[in-house]
Amino acid sequence: VLDLAMADHFRAFADVVERDGGPTYATICRGVADDPPVLSLLDAAPAAQQRPLLLLAAVHFLLLSGDDHPLREFYDTVAAVRGSDDGAKGSQPEGDVARIFSGFCAERRAQLEELIATRTTQTNEIGRCNALLPGLCHVAELHGRKTALSLLDLGTSAGLNLLFDDYFFSYRAPEGISRVAGSESSGVRLRCTVRGGFDGLPDLAPPALVERVGLDLSPVDACSDDDARWLLACQWPDNPERFGRLRAAVENARATARAPRLEQGDMVEDLADVAATMSGEEPLVVFHSWVAAYLDEERQRDLAAAVRALDGTGGRPVHHLYFEAAYETPGLPTPPRSEPGGRGDVATALVLVPAGGGEPVRLADAHPHGRWLRWWPATRPGPKGRPAAPAPPPPLR
Ligand SMILES: C[S@@+](CC[C@H](N)C(=O)[O-])C[C@H]1O[C@@H](n2cnc3c(N)ncnc32)[C@H](O)[C@@H]1O
């Protein structure tokens, strides 16, 4: 029997990935939508996890683990991990990928069901550091860069965004002007197009940090081969640049001297307890990216209140910085863009609720994976390190 709702999920997912440059999954998902035995694999998952990416990740995981099935030839990522001399994708593979995928699922059904029953989809997108870095620099400038900061990342996954100062950043405006920041010799190299110019962007030298802590319901251990492979398996096979960047960040996390402390817990319920373990007096930035959508609107309000309640405890300023899709986070304040319109992109808003009861400020909009950034110049801090009064919106262009 065809599960119509699940079939529709696969068709919708095919459209999404196709728009975002994922032809392999688009073709596979359209095939799965008409393939009852493959659709039924997701029956093994808890209801909240029954989504296309879970099945796709389970298959990807087996291929990345060394499975020799011909399906591997369609995955750029598998070739990248295993080298193309083992028959993984080297030249254009032949055959119908959707049919070959279906055959793989039939032959590996038991292994797939076990993965689907026990795993949840996971992302840790370090491209988001392209937005977080200027956000954190902005906070450092609010303090005149006279003090180091501490960071608490909610929904941290593997904590990779807490290691942004290990990465190399290159920001380029369409006019050809560029600025670089971070660790020049880093194997983790991030690129970002700056829309609207550099006006108002803070100095991008990463701020000094005292403590870095991550909190997650299911933290990912970058040092575990199994955890790291699952994280990689949740990516799409057609974007080797993004995949390579994540691999490099995992390698960095294993080698770095500044490994964050990761705590298991709920970002609302356990926030105060975890914050209490961070005992310094330096300003604390509680931040999160693409996490708040996991909370319903009321719990999003609870989260905003819980962070506000930390501000000033023990004399410590606590800032709340978030990079979230406003349409999914109605319970968090998101001021309107300071320039109306837009190019129809699905932007993510970078918002700061400054310590000391300040009003929320929309610092920037950016691509969800940090491919581009639009900094709103009106948010430049005042000359004494205080935020300037909001400037009137620029004229329509
Ligand atoms: C989409 S991932 C984003 C990870 C990371 N912030 C990033 O931008 O790459 C969402 C993460 O939030 C975690 N998460 C979901 N609900 C949570 C909650 N209530 N408390 C803590 N973590 C949660 C998930 O386990 C997952 O690691």
Q: Please tell me if the CB atom of residue 313 comes closer than 6 angstroms to any atom of ligand 1.
A: no
Position 391 scores a pLDDT of 38
Q: What is the structure's pLDDT at 341?
A: 58
In this prediction, residue 255 carries a pLDDT of 97
pLDDT higher at 279 or 179:
179
Q: Distances in Å between the alpha carbon of 61 and those of 46, 64, 75, 80?
A: 19, 5, 11, 14
Residues 128, 133, 139, 142: is their CA dihedral positive or negative? negative
Rounded mean pLDDT, 100-104: 98
On the question of pLDDT at 248 being above 80, the answer is yes
Give the model's pLDDT for residue 377: 74
Other Cβ atoms within 10 Å of 312 Cβ, number: 13
Say if residue 356's pLDDT is above 70: yes
CA-based radius of gyration for the chain: 22
pLDDT of the residue at 384: 40
Q: Give yes or no for residue 274 CB within 6 A of ligand 1.
A: no
158: Cβ below 6 Å to ligand 1? no
Residue 340: CB atoms within 10 A of its CB come to 9
* pLDDT above 50 for 254: yes
Instruction: Kindly give the number of the ligand 1 atom that is closest to the alpha carbon of 267.
Output: 20
In the DSSP assignment, the letter for residue 280 is -
pLDDT for the residue numbered 91 = 66
- Residue 49 Cβ inside 6 Å of ligand 1? The answer reads no
Mean pLDDT of the chain: 90
SS3 (DSSP) at 17: helix
Kindly report, residue by residue over 293-344, the tens digit of the pLDDT. 999 999 999 999 999 999 999 899 999 999 999 989 999 999 988 776 555 4
What is the number of the ligand 1 atom nearest to the C-alpha of 294?
16
Q: Is 217 in the pocket of ligand 1 (CB under 6 A)?
A: yes
What pLDDT score does 378 carry?
A: 65
- Give the pLDDT score at 48: 84
Over range 372-385, report the average pLDDT.
65
| C-beta separation of 363 from 130 below 8 A | no
> Is pLDDT at 62 greater than 90 in this prediction?
yes
Asked if pLDDT for residue 5 goes beyond 70, the answer is yes
First to last CA, the chain: 54
Q: Quickly count: other Cβ atoms within 10 Å of residue 226's Cβ.
A: 10
Q: Do 129 and 186 touch, CB atoms closer than 8 A?
A: no
What is residue 289's predicted lDDT score, i.e. its pLDDT?
A: 98
Question: Which one of 291, 300, 332 would you pick to mutate in the ligand 1 pocket, going by the greatest count of ligand atoms within 8 A of its CB?
Answer: 291
Q: What is the pLDDT of residues 217-227, one digit of tens each?
A: 999 999 999 99
For the stretch 7-38, pLDDT in tens is 999 999 999 999 988 899 999 999 999 999 99
Q: In what order do the strands lie in the sheet with 348-353?
A: 178-182, 168-172, 189-195, 372-375, 361-366, 348-353, 318-324, 284-289, 149-154, 209-216, 261-264
Backbone angles phi, psi at 171, to 5 degrees: -105, 130
Ligand 1 site, residue 152, Cβ cutoff 6 A? no
For CA atoms 329, 374, 355, 265, give the dihedral sign: positive
Using most ligand atoms within 8 A of CB, pick from 122, 217, 218, 369 the residue to mutate for ligand 1: 217
Tokens of 18: 């196709």
Question: What is the structure's pLDDT at 177?
Answer: 86
pTM: 0.89
pLDDT over 90 (residue 235): yes
Q: Is the CB of 266 under 6 A from ligand 1?
A: yes
